[in-house]
Structure 1
Amino acid sequence: MRFLILLAPGENWRDDVVLHNQPFMPEHAVYVQEAYLQGKIILAGPYEDLTGGAIVIDVENKDDVQGFVENDPTVKNGIFTYQIKRWGEGMSKFENISPNFDQRYIDYKHKVQKELNII
């Protein structure tokens, strides 16, 4: 199962310190690197404005992702808070998955929306 982890400044985030120099950030980097080397991390990194970051992780279940996040040194020490979102099925360049949306999909969805009085 694929999950999106959204990381945002927590109660111990230092506003006067750039993201890469926040406390426990080196430990966080190594922790995420280890999960990457185990094949769990698909994507990870900070936002461009350095106000937090995101991780896309592939694990067996919600308990696995919850355990991963709760053991992250930056989360354990209040540098980051987090949200976990289950990644739905869709498109993936990595697995070469495409639903092949085209005009037929638009036409079908418009028909459904008309039946529901949405459009």
Structure 2
Amino acid sequence: MPWFAKIEEGIVEKAVFDRYVPAHKAYVQELIAKGHQARSGYWGERGGGMMLFLADSLEEAQAIVEGDPLVKNRCVKYCLHEWRVVIE
């Protein structure tokens, strides 16, 4: 399964964004339980963040991203990339 990275930037006020963080965390936990090995975090030096996860295809990865509460509630804009691991 290839790795994918959703790199995001917040586009709403922090109070609005923070309202959806618990749902986002629960969603990431669901992805982990389903075997996607998801990890989510934010940049320490600036706004925005990233979610890494495994998916069978770009189409599945896109569906996973579209299911994220931060995306569904239009809290972030994002780019989705396949991350090709060179060294494990």
If the TM-score is normalised by the length of the shorter chain, which range does it land in?
A: 0.7 to 0.9
Q: Report how many aligned residue pairs link the two structures.
A: 87
- Gap change, CA 1:90 and 1:42, over 3 Å in 2: farther
Higher strand share: 2
**Gaps (5+ residues) in structure 2?**
none
Q: Which has the larger radius of gyration?
A: 1
**Is the CA contact 1:23–1:74 (under 8 Å) kept in the aligned structure 2?**
no
Deviation at 1:28, TM superposition (A): 0.7
Alignment of 1:36 with 2:61, yes or no, is no
**Gaps (5+ residues) in structure 1?**
93-119
TM-score by structure 2 length? Answer: 0.84
Counterpart position of 1:14:
13
**Is the CA contact 2:28–2:39 (under 8 Å) kept in the aligned structure 1?**
no
Q: Which has the higher contact order (CA 8 A, sep 6+)?
A: 2
Runs of 4+ in 1 over 6 A off after TM superposition: none
What's the secondary structure of 1:23's corresponding residue? helix
